[in-house]
Amino acid sequence: MTTVDFASLDALVRPASVAVIGASDEPARIGGRPIAYMRERGFAGALWPVNPKRATVQGLPAFASVAALPAAPDVAIIAVPAAHAISTLDELGQKGCRAVICFTAGFAEMDAAGAKAQEELTAVAARHGIRLLGPNCLGVFNDAIRFYGTFTASFEKGWPIPGRIGVASQSGAYGTHVFAAALDRGLGMQVVITTGNEAEVTLGDALGWMAQAPEVDVICAYAEGIRESPRFLAALELARRNRKPIVMMKVGRSQLGGAAAKSHTASIAGDDAVTQAVLDEYGVVRARTTEEMLDIAYAAAKRIYPVRNTLGVLTVSGGAGVLISDAAEQAGLAMPPMPDGAQAKLRALIPFCAPRNPVDCTAQVTNDLKLIDTFAESVAADGGYSSILSFWSQTAAGRSLGPVLQEKMRAVRAKFPDRLWVMSMLAPDKIREYEADGWLCFEDPSRAVVAIEAMGRFGAAFEHTAPVAPPLPQVSLPATTPSEAAAKALLAAAGIPAVPERACASVEAALAAAAEIGFPVVLKILSPDILHKSEIGGVLLDVADPEGVRAGFATLLQRAGQHAPQARIEGVLVAKQIKGAVEMALGVFRDPVFGPVAMVGLGGIFIEVLKDVAFRRCPFGTAEAETMIRSLRGFPLLDGARGRPKADVAALARALSALSAFAAAAGPRLAGVDINPVLVLPEGQGCFAADAVIELDG
């Protein structure tokens, strides 16, 4: 894992002195807003406007040039036209400025000329050792020190509420939209960093700074495309190690969305499935909507992250219990039943209650209020659930029952402070009181379930130690794309066994190989130029005798000559035909951001039809490989479904891990590997590659 000094962004986010180049006397203009905000909020550091046409700016002494500044500022804000941005950055570098926020647009987000200008901007920053945020960014603010290096108009809604949620966003407008939405919900969000075109400072840098910053406990992220992986991955690992949850909106799932993301930020959208695999690897929870992101961040701010999350539900409504159960099943959140003894005890109190889980205490508790804490305490103590969701609807706000309910539930919650206590209620005027008692409050119980499930994922990730990468084999790739036989030999040397087979240049050799291997056999055309043999009829199954071998050999040569006359033909591959195996597929492709990525899925045609696949960055060990295999919807086919024998999952996991190590060791010339099918035999009998393609670049 790359070691990154994320504290080098301190000058950008925690500056003691700020220069604004292109400072405006008009508070509503882009060059005027940062000054107006910092003056109104009481920024304690030095604030130096640079404007050659004015002696003062918004009541502050102005400086005619960067050179005229009294000292090198910690951070400078560039708010000048694109034609002057590069020279301004160079002047700041000569002055000794450590960090720059470039509001200026007109760079890589525009056209090829803009991209070239951005490269020059980046080169100037590198030459002077400047941390450059932007260009084309909305900037950054850190209300903890009253620093406002931004021109967003969001503060017309109100100033940040004290709190420990941070936002890192590639989109300035959307990042501040998340802040404004949080403000409407009363969530404390004091630090927002928007990265824009990411000429130098990337989303990974922003996430990494928050992962080690005491100002931030919970991180919200908005990403359109990941430009570089080392800092991004280092940031995710640091956040996990420091127990700081990241909830991310990664857009660009669709083809249309992906195209929009590229044009908007000039970043690489990458493959969405790969991005999801990377987020899963580090325990980052992906939000589908802004509402869901804020729900999860709100819950995460409690800093209770169950490692083995189970949900207990206490409700006065059977219908709500069914709704919550459906939501939990969809989210994959376990709801174990209450112990039999506890159910009997609760039935003795209210014979018509439903105490299994959800525990429906019915409206009877409103007639006998002492039953409220009895039922609630039983769910916590007897059920032992790590998360408890109570559904009280409008009862929590009732003038007659609300105060008693609040008092009793407060007392029960205080006895079990390690649990995640959540309440679903319609009581907008009482929410702040319940939150002060330690409750998370949601009107919609389904939204509550999504947030609760996310806390368990965070907890599992924080407890998970980073896996040790497997040792890498010595890999020497051939000069050109290998044939199937050569590909299998390379893979077998790396630990991925192949079906017993022989490469045969003549029919006599094929007859001898078939006799040695044993009938029936499979015959395949052998050529480095014919990668997809089945498409030309280049595979013959169930060849049962020598006459079949002789005829099949001639048939394959004839079909190759007809369909691929320019192909180099090395002969025919004779392979043992294996029956009674589960067909799986293994593969590797090179992601432009994250490098080699391994894949496992159902084999044969099913991989294309069902797309039931799992991905992970290479390399990884057998434990991670088995987790991937077990995550497949089709895993029951390997696990003895409908009376089948259990397949050798351990052997398949070893092969998948070995493939990941091979891909990591092979280097950038390896474009891809396709092993389909992999024949997985019953437990203890292994698995074998029946077909393999290795594609090379260059």
- CATH number, residue 534: 3.30.1490.20
* Tens digit of each residue's pLDDT (9 = 90 or more) over 344-380: 999 999 999 999 999 999 888 878 888 998 999 999 9
What phi and psi values does residue 170 have, to the nearest 5 degrees? Answer: -75, -30
> How many domains, in total, are found in the chain?
4
Q: Specify whether 136 is located in the same domain as 278.
A: yes
Rounded Cα distance between 391 and 449, Å, is 12
Number of H helices, E strands in the chain: 22, 29
Q: What pLDDT sits at residue 254? A: 52
Q: Specify whether 48 is located in the same domain as 162.
A: yes
Q: Specify whether 219 is located in the same domain as 290.
A: yes
Report yes or no on 681 lying in a domain. yes
Instruction: Give the three-state DSSP class for 398.
Output: coil
- CATH number, residue 346: 3.40.50.261
Report yes or no on 230 lying in a domain. yes
Is residue 574 exposed (0-12), middle (13-18) or buried (19+ Cβ within 10 Å)? buried
Rounded Cα distance between 645 and 581, Å, is 10
Q: What pLDDT sits at residue 314? A: 97
Q: What pLDDT sits at residue 1? A: 59
Report yes or no on 479 lying in a domain. no
Rounded Cα distance between 264 and 666, Å, is 35
Token code pair at residue 627: 């987790």
Q: Specify whether 21 is located in the same domain as 166.
A: yes
Q: Specify whether 556 is located in the same domain as 593.
A: no
Backbone region of residue 318 per phi and psi (left: phi > 0; alpha: psi in -120 to 50; beta: other values): alpha
Q: Of 549, 576, 603, which residue constitutes the final position of a domain?
A: 576
Report yes or no on 637 lying in a domain. yes
Rounded Cα distance between 364 and 66, Å, is 74
Q: Specify whether 552 is located in the same domain as 649.
A: no
Q: Which residues of the chain have pLDDT under 50?
A: 256-270
* Tens digit of each residue's pLDDT (9 = 90 or more) over 468-486: 889 999 999 999 989 889 9
Q: Give the largest CA-CA distance in the chain.
A: 100
Q: Specify whether 570 is located in the same domain as 592.
A: no
Report yes or no on 257 lying in a domain. yes
Report yes or no on 275 lying in a domain. yes
Q: Specify whether 14 is located in the same domain as 130.
A: yes
Is residue 29 exposed (0-12), middle (13-18) or buried (19+ Cβ within 10 Å)? middle
Q: Where are the alpha helices (DSSP H) in 161-311?
A: 172-184, 203-212, 230-241, 255-265, 272-281, 290-300
Report yes or no on 477 lying in a domain. no
- Report the first-to-last Cα separation within the chain, whole angstroms: 28
Q: Specify whether 353 is located in the same domain as 440.
A: yes
Q: Of 561, 576, 591, which residue constitutes the final position of a domain?
A: 576
pTM for the model stands at 0.91
- CATH number, residue 665: 3.30.470.20
Q: Specify whether 295 is located in the same domain as 315.
A: no
Rounded Cα distance between 440 and 448, Å, is 9
Q: Specify whether 385 is located in the same domain as 531.
A: no
Q: Specify whether 678 is located in the same domain as 664.
A: yes
Q: Which domain holds residue 645?
A: 582-696
Report yes or no on 30 lying in a domain. yes
The 10 Å Cβ neighbour count of residue 227 is 22
Instruction: Give the three-state DSSP class for 695.
Output: strand
Q: Of 248, 280, 300, which residue constitutes the final position of a domain?
A: 300
